[in-house]
Structures are given as C-alpha cells and as structure tokens.
Amino acid sequence: MGFIRKLFLSFFFLIVIQSAYAQNEEEVTKQWVYDENERTYNWVPTLLKSNKNILSSISQFNGYVFNWVPRGQSYDNSAIIDGINWASNLNGWNASFSYTGMYKIFHQKESDENLAYSSEGYGKNYRTSYLTTNSNLFKRGWVLHTGFSNASYMNEGHIQYSAAGNRNEWSLHSFLVFQNTPNGMSPSGFKKIKGAAFSIDKIFTNNQSIGLTLWWNQTSQGKQAPSVLEAYTLSHQRNYNPSWGWLDGQAYYPNSKYTNVPVLSIRYEKNWSDKAAIQINLGLAIGEQGTSQLDWTSSADPRPDYYRYLPSYSKDSSMRIQLNKWFEANPQALQIDFDRIQKINKASISKRSFYIINKNISNIISARASAIYKFQLNNYWSTNAGMQIAKDKINYFNVVDHLLGGHFFYNYNGWVIDDGLVNSFQNNIQSPDQKIKEGERWGPNFELQSMQATSWLQVKNTSPRWEFSTGFNYATDLFQRNGLNQNGLFLNNSLGRSSLLYFPSLGYKGEVLYKFSGRIYARSIFFNQQYAPNAATVFLDPSLHGFQTPFLLPLLKNGIDLSLYFRGVDTKIMLSAYYQKVKNESEKRFFYHDKYNSFVYGVVGQKESVYQGVESSVETLLFNLLQLELSINIGKYFISNNPLYEILLANDIYKVESGLLRLKNLPATTSPEITEAVSIQMQPTYTTRVSVTGIYAAKRAISYDYYRRSALVLDPLSAQKLYASLHEAHYLPSQFVLNASFSKSFNLKYGNQKIPIYSNFSFKNLLGTLIPVLVFEQSRFDYINLNPNKYPLKYLYDLGVTYAVGIQLQIQ
Amino acid sequence: MKIKTSLSIFISSIALVVLFFSAACLKQTAYAQPVSGNDTDSVISIKAFRKLHTIGNVESIAKSMVLEGTIVANDEHDNLYKSISIQDTSGGIIISLDGSSLYQTYPVGTTIRIHLQNLFLTDYRRMLQVVASVDTSSGQLVTTGIPASLLSKYIKVVKENTNVIPLLVSYKNLADSLQGRLIKISNVEFAAADTNLTYADKKNKIGASRSLKFCTGGTIYLRTSGYADFAGISIPKNNGDIVGVYSVYNYEKQLLIRDTSDILFRANRCTGAAWLKNLPN
C-alpha cells in the first residue's frame, strides 16, 4: 500500500513538474487571457456549498456573464483580508490581482465588523477573507490539487499545508500555486502564475495571539481586446481578438497585465473573556503592477480592426466586395502583422522605432494600520468600533519593453496636436529629443500619494422581538501629485508637488429587524453615505499636470429597503423592495474629438441615478433529494437628471464646450434589469453532487458614451431619426445561459487512514449562447456629419462552452 | 477490491488530465499563410500605360497587367498625401493609396510591382493617377486610393534601395510626359516677392504655390502642402538647383519637393539680362 501511495504521489508531482516545465518553456512566448475567466473555475465549488445569500452567489458565479449585479450597482471592491482593507484610492494598485489564482487559500465569512456598505445592504462584506489560522476555517494536513480548464488556464497545480497548534504553539498555513496557459490555447491568450502564501499564528495562554501573513504572487496574463461586429463577422470567431499577431512565424501577444507585489501583515489580538476583544493589524505591500501593449507614434495605426481598414469604410461597393473576399481568404490580415512592423522599424534610416511594446508600470508602496474593538455590554447591547489608516504612494511611468527591431524610441508625447511649437511634444523638456533604449523609462513620470484615515462606531441592540443597529463613520482623504519630469506642454504645472487636497466624508446607517416568529421576520435598512473621490477623479490628467477636475463634489449614496424573510427547516424565502439614489457622480474621459480635431478631456459632473426594484428568492429541498433555488428580480436603474459637462482641449485645457447632457432616463448601469435564475442541486449519493443553473437576463443596457448626447448635439436633432437612436435607451437581446457541474469524492484507504480524493467537472454556457459580456459605444463619434455608424459599437463575447476539470487529494 | 476501484478511477482521472495537457502542448492555433499573388501578369511600361488615358476620362483596367517602377516620392514629409510617385525609364505616375505613413512601407528607392487589374486610371486637373475606386454620384469625380488592407494584394516589393537619379530638365523641355518623374532643374530662384514667405501656411494648413524663376526665362511653381512638415520654413533667397516630382495643375507647371534638402541654392541670385527677363511686366 505504501508503494501505491508513493506511486500516485510521484505521479501527481510529475504532473505538477511537467506543467511547471511547460510554463518555463513558454517564458519566451507571449500569450493571452481574458481577465474574467478567473472566475470560471472558482464558480464550481461555491455552487456546491450552502448559500446564505442565493442572489449574491448565483449572480457572482453564474450571472457575471450578463454583468448581473444585484440592485444594479457595482460591487464594493474592497479586499479585506485578516482585518486589513487593501483597497486603494489610487489607480494602479489592485489588491485582489496580487493574489489572483490563490483564491482557494482564503476563506470568507460574513462579518459586520466593517462599516463599508455594499449594494446588497448592511454588513455584507462578502469579501472579508481570512488567511490567518486563527479563523479556525482550515483543515489540518496536506491538500494537493491539479486542474485543467479550457477557459482561464490550461493546467494548474497547488499544494496546501496546514498545521494547527495548541495554545503556546505555532499554527501554520501555507500554499503554493502555479497556473499556465500555453501560447494561443485560450482566446484570451497566455497566463502564468507562480504564487505562495504563508500564515503563522500563536495563541498564548493569556488570551493573546499574534500572527503573520505573507503572500507573493508573480502573475502575467494576457488581456483580450473588444472589437466591432464587422471584424467578428469577417473572422468567423466569437472570440476574435484584434490585439495579437504574428512575429517570426509565432503568435505574439503584446497586451498583458502583471503583478509582482509581496504583501505582508502582522496582527495582535487580545480577548477579555467573551465580553471584549481588540485586534490590531499592520500591513505593508511593496512591488509592481502594470500592463503592456503595442504603442506607436508618427505611424499608421497597426490595429487590424481599425475602422479605415474594414470593408465598411469603403464607399465603393465593388471595393467592399474585394475587401470582404480578401479578409475571407487571408484571416491573418485580421491580426497584427508584427513582421511588417519590425521591418518598418529596422528600415528607418536613424533606426528609430515607430512601434514599440510599452509597459505602463505602477511602483507601489502601500501601508495599512487598523484596529477593531468589540465590546458586549450585556445580553442586549453590543458595540464595535474601529479605525484604519491607509497610506499609498505609487510612482507611475512607462518602460520600453521591446523596440521591435529599432534601436531607440523618441520620448515624445504621441497625442499632442502639432501647434508648431517644437517643445510641446517633449515628454521631458529637460532632456529634449531623448532617445529611449529597451528597458529605459519614458513618457510621464509622476507620483500620486493618498492618505486615508477612517473611523467607525456601530451599536446593536438585540431583544426577543426587535433588533436595532446603527453605525457612523468619518473619513478624511488626502491626495497629492508629484510630477517627476517637466513636459513641454505644461512647463509650469508638470514638475513638482501639487498642493495637498483634503476631502472629508461621513456616513450613517441603520437597521431595524422585527421577528414575527422564529421563522418569519422583517428587516429594513436605511443609509446615507458620502464618499471621497479617488485620485484618478481628483486630477484631470495627473500624468501631465496637477490641474483639478471640474465638478468635484462628494459622491452621495442613500437608500432604504424593506425585506421579508421566511426561514423554514427545508425552505427559505426572501422578498425585498429597495430604493437607492446616487448623487454627484462624475466621469472623465480622454478621447479624440472630430469636431475640434484634437484630443480632449470630457468631464461629466453632478450626475444622479436611481436604482429601485424588487428581489425575491426561494430555496427549498424537494423529495429529500433535490435542492432547488429560485430567484426573480425586477429593477429599474436610470439616470435621473441631465448632468453638467465640459469639453476641454487636451493641449491647453481650454474649455470649448459646456452645458447639459441629455441623459435623463438613460440606463444607469449595464446590469440586467430583469433576471430569473434557477439552480438545481442533486446529491444522489453521499459522494456525488450534480448541479445545473440557468439564468435568464433581460433589459441589458449597453455602456453609453455620454458626450454625444449633449444638448448642443441633440437639441437641433429633435425632429430627426438620429435623435431617437441617441436619446432613447436600447437594450441587448434577452438571453439564457445554462451551466452545470458534477463532483465526486472517493476515499482511498491507507492502513486505518482514509485519504479523500475530490474531483469535479464543470461546464459553462452549455448551450453555447452567443453572449456579449461587454458592449459599449466608442468614445470617438462623428461630431461633424453625425453618422452614428462611423465608429460603431464594440463587443466582447463570452467564450462559449467551456469546461474545467479538477482533482484534489487531501492527506490529514 | 474497493481500494482498487477507487485507485483505478483516480488514476484514470489523472491520465485524462495528462491527456489534456499533452493535447495542450501539441495543439497550435494556426492560420493559413498568405497566398502570394502570381507575377505572371504582363509588365507594361509607364509610358505605354499613360497612353491608355484620355484626359477627363476614367479608364477601368480590366486586363491583368503589372506596372513596375521605383518610388521617387512619398508622404515622408507630408508634402504628398495618401500617394506615392513611381517612375521607370519611360515615365512616371502617381499611385493613390488610402493609407498613412506610406513611406515606412514604401520608402524612396523601392522598386515595386503594381497589379493594375480592377484599378482605375484617371487624372486630377490633368495630372494622371492610378486609383482604386471612383464615385461620380455627387456630380464630381471623387477618387479613392487602394485601401490600406489591400496594399499587399496590389503591391509587391521587388527591390529595395534602388538609386534614383533625377532627370536634368530645362524649362523648354518641361512637358506632360514628365509627370510623376523626379526631375532636376538648374539655375532657378524664387521670385523676389516670395522670398519673405514660407513654403506654405503651416498654421492654417493651407497649401501654397511659390514662383520659381529660371534665370534663362520661364516660371515653374513650387507647390507645397500646408501639412508638409517644412511648410512653416522660410523659402531660400539664393539661386541654384532644385529636385522634385514634376506635376501639373491644369496647364500650370508645378514641382513637388520631398523635403527642403531637395533645394540646393548656394549661388547668388540672377543678374543682367536673365534677371531682366523675370521682371514682372
């Protein structure tokens, strides 16, 4: 038996090593992946768990293909791990990306210790995660896992080891993971993950404990680009991706994102009997995150789906036929010709590169300190209070990753409109006409700093019939920009520190719960919350100057809901009605404006939205065999006013337009307004589970470009056909998606020991429905002839039928 | 027995995963390689090709034939827009291409073959050009160049870095047969009234014609686009040689330079009888 155990352990490691070797082999090859696929695999195990919140679970793991978010508003993206909220007010630091592929190491549990409000209501910090062994969520022993998926990664392996110590002993929890998608095997391209996580804790006899957590993940993965319908039709692929191409006979994927940020946190906890507890946490993250993509200057647009290259651009019908035939016969013409690009760079007399692969880099230092104090006054009253101080500093810059055959790249700003001044396009005026070599920095170079201090207090009263709770929070946010180089366009505003910008914010919330009986109760939540802007909103374009964005006001969210619950032994029913209003929303966009023949900043301010509707869910056990979950939701999410806007020329921030946008009654979100979901889980034997989930989504809006709906454009059109197409809401077709999973566990006997083996198979979009996961209006619009088809909608489609297979071995 | 069953199921599952891995390593997304056009079409000289055209008409080229020539001017300095000029030993012609930064793919000195079938031969104000489509629905002739996506279909590069020597031409020999050719004229200077001007109006992107006077008598106009990167530069005052592509605007003789390095004015301005000939009446 020992031999057998050794045999299959060797076999398992062989797979792990084989896959790791494949990953190393692929280091030289660029590949591709679509970010959203990350969830595909993780969708499976959660489905098999009992869910306290059906809506949250089904929408997150099955409904994301429709961009279904309960109550319409996007999730709070806070990443709270072991008591520290790693979310940042600065763009460029994505905490959840720092542990991508490592979700299985974290365990989540519901918590009301943080005051953050989610769109689903009070205390639903669904992302409160634990890595610390103190959470008692981890099983001791080894877990070995390998998996295969044609969606997000081709092969995966992870090893987990947990050892729980007694008092005065150390507990340990550790995890190693790799994932690898070979070149071109996924429509999204490549993916390489090497990650490790480690947590140790020690509980002392005097009710104190200390712990340390570290995770470090090196990930590089491709990003898929959306395209226009015409290109999809020409390519005959639902997963057409215009941003890769051929180089030296191999597929080459320049679009990617990567992370390399080790994150460390330490904690101290002390309990005073069961009445009170304090937890103090300190955290530090230092590293780099970034993206890479093809960049070009003074040269033809290399994108194969650029509107001028497609047949529809040609006004001549015979030429359109010729072009259609050409693309049909030459599918490689719909991908980037990197060989030609390389030839152009090599042929340049000065060996100047017109095309490069550029890396946008965020160099991150992120520090956190938090404290949570919980106190139980008596059987009725309890309270918790806390505070967190967050300090983030990010240095943003570009690096030439690949010169594609040339010898240097000029440090010029590619979008500056030539105003005849020789210096306006210099990215660094102190070093004009700088020739950048591979691996060197170029472009904007600046820092953003953010400091946030948040404090909150929550009080709860519980009685046999009633429960009341209320909470207050107060936060201050400080921002500063520090320009590290002086550009030729904004000589006086690009270099040096901006003034310190200060934004206070506060909020309150309340909850009332009445218990009609032990099974039936009603609950109401109300809240009013201010939010400080993030740094990207505060500055108009921090990469170039320190000017503030117009219309800066605190974002206000308020709302109320009323829910009725029935919680029977086998059946749970929920019915909820909600109303939420958001004020002072703002948007900023940088785009090319045909009318002004220039790049511009479009700024929207004081936009208001309403989210209202009814949610319902039923969970019941049928014939002691089938667990049935049903959910029907109807909402109305719309913009409720005509907000202000400005158009500013990028060259000199000169205001060329301002006024009102005719947005009233347009959809406020791309989340479907009507959703119906049914999930059936069956357990024919103790070790076998089958699950099928179907979701129907209707009234899905596209993502709108606001600026073409200005009064300036729309009012003169009020009698024309174009007015209707711009003014009225248009929805995507209603669609249905069907997902299924099957899991089976076995026990392998080893002496007196049972070694459980878990396997699961999951299938997504079984019917192969062509579902657009993203549809948006391009920011470029034909402002001269007002032809809405000149820059058509862009799409990104779901992958279609995908599957994942996983096998896990647990040794305790 | 039960252990064996469990074990065999587990090993089978592992084998299944290994099979998938192997497939993953072997399979490659592969597109067909582009099919090169056949070069068996008959080559026609530019002179013979030009003869197919009647001024004001549009000739659709149905026959399979190939034009071979060396690029003498392109859009490198934006004085030509969406076009290149090619020449062979018999003549020159403008080829209209609907793309930007053409100079990067088609630099001066590159010898190319253009497959003419399905293209059109036309003229703009008597200047002959090859275009890909024509539209007269607006009452005017609107032409479009070969679409950027089809450049590789219609144009093949035959040779690179061919040395192009401009043809030395006197004023009296300037004729339509020189259209599109790189020529050199000597002993010329800009009219005195133009010498305090720039090549064109760079600020407002408006093109301009500046009078180039032959010391021996006669005028040719230097035509510069307002988009040319040298449009804002002052024109030189001296006298000398100039190289450019010969062009016409109706019956006006014009010269298009590729860059200011095409102007070699080092001598003093004309004096005496020759100068007198160029005085305004």
Please, which pLDDT band fits residue A170 given cuts at 50, 70 and 90? confident
Give the confidence band of A787 by pLDDT, cuts at 50, 70, 90. very high
Judging contacts by C-beta atoms under 8 Å, the chain A residues touching residue B31 are 246, 331-332, 335
Find tokens 């366009």 and name the residue. Answer: A489
Q: Alpha-carbon distance A593 to A582, whole Å? A: 29
pLDDT score of B6: 54
Mean pLDDT, rounded, of chain A: 86
| Nearest CA distance, B149 vs chain A (angstrom) | 5
Given a contact cutoff of 8 angstroms between Cβ atoms, the answer to whether B139 and B120 are in contact is no
Among B13, B32, B22, B17, CA closest to A182: B22
Q: How far apart are CA B180 and CA B189, in angstroms?
A: 22
Task: Answer with the residue of higher pLDDT: A641 or A75.
Answer: A641
Buried b (16+ CB within 10 A) or exposed e, B147-164: bbbbbbbbbbeeeeeeeb
Q: Is B11 helix (H, G, I), strand (E, B) or coil?
A: helix
Question: Nearest chain A Cα to B134, which residue?
Answer: A316
What is the token pair recorded at A119?
């769109």
* Closest residue by Cα to residue A340 from B117, B39, B101: B101
Residues B131-181 have pLDDT tens digits of 999 988 888 889 999 999 999 999 999 999 999 999 999 999 999 999 999
Task: For strands A227-228 and A276-296, give the pairing.
Answer: unpaired
Q: How would you classify residue A123: left for phi > 0, otherwise alpha for psi between -120 and 50, otherwise beta?
A: left
Residue in chain B lying closest to A327 (CA): B149
Checking if the pLDDT of A708 tops 90, the result is yes
Q: Is the pLDDT of residue A169 over 90?
A: no
- Using a CB cutoff of 8 Å and minimum separation of 24, what contacts does B224-227 make? B224/B79, B224/B199, B224/B200, B224/B256, B224/B257, B225/B78, B225/B79, B225/B80, B225/B81, B225/B200, B226/B200, B226/B201, B226/B202, B227/B78, B227/B79, B227/B81
* A133 pLDDT tier (thresholds 50, 70, 90): low
Answer whether A298 sits within 8 Å of B101, measured CB to CB. yes
* B202 backbone φψ class: left, alpha, beta (φ>0; ψ -120 to 50): alpha
User: Which residues of A594-662 form beta strands (DSSP E)?
Assistant: 598-622, 626-639, 644-649, 655-660
Q: Which residues pair with A647 in a beta bridge?
A: A602, A657
Query: Which residues on chain B are in Cβ contact (under 8 Å) with A185?
Result: 24, 27, 29
pLDDT in tens, A628-643: 999 999 999 999 999 9
Q: Is the pLDDT of residue B98 over 90?
A: yes
Residue B79, min C-alpha distance to chain A (Å): 15
**Strands A80-81 vs A626-639: parallel, antiparallel or unpaired:** unpaired
A404-430, pLDDT tens digit by residue? Answer: 999 999 999 888 776 666 688 899 999
A748 touches chain B (CB under 8 A): yes
Tell me if chain B has a CB within 8 Å of the CB of A187: no
**Cα of B27 to nearest chain A Cα, Å:** 8
First to last CA, chain B: 117
Distance of CA B180 to CAs A435, B51, B71, B176, Å?
36, 14, 10, 9
Q: Which residues of A touch B9 (CB under 8 A)?
A: 746
Distance CA A565, CA A567 (A): 6
A-contacting residues of B 174-213, CB under 8 Å? 202-203
pLDDT higher at A78 or B109: B109
Whether ipTM tops 0.85, in short, is: no
A811 and chain B: CB distance < 8 Å anywhere?
Answer: no
pLDDT of A78? 60
The residue with tokens 């030459």 is: A330
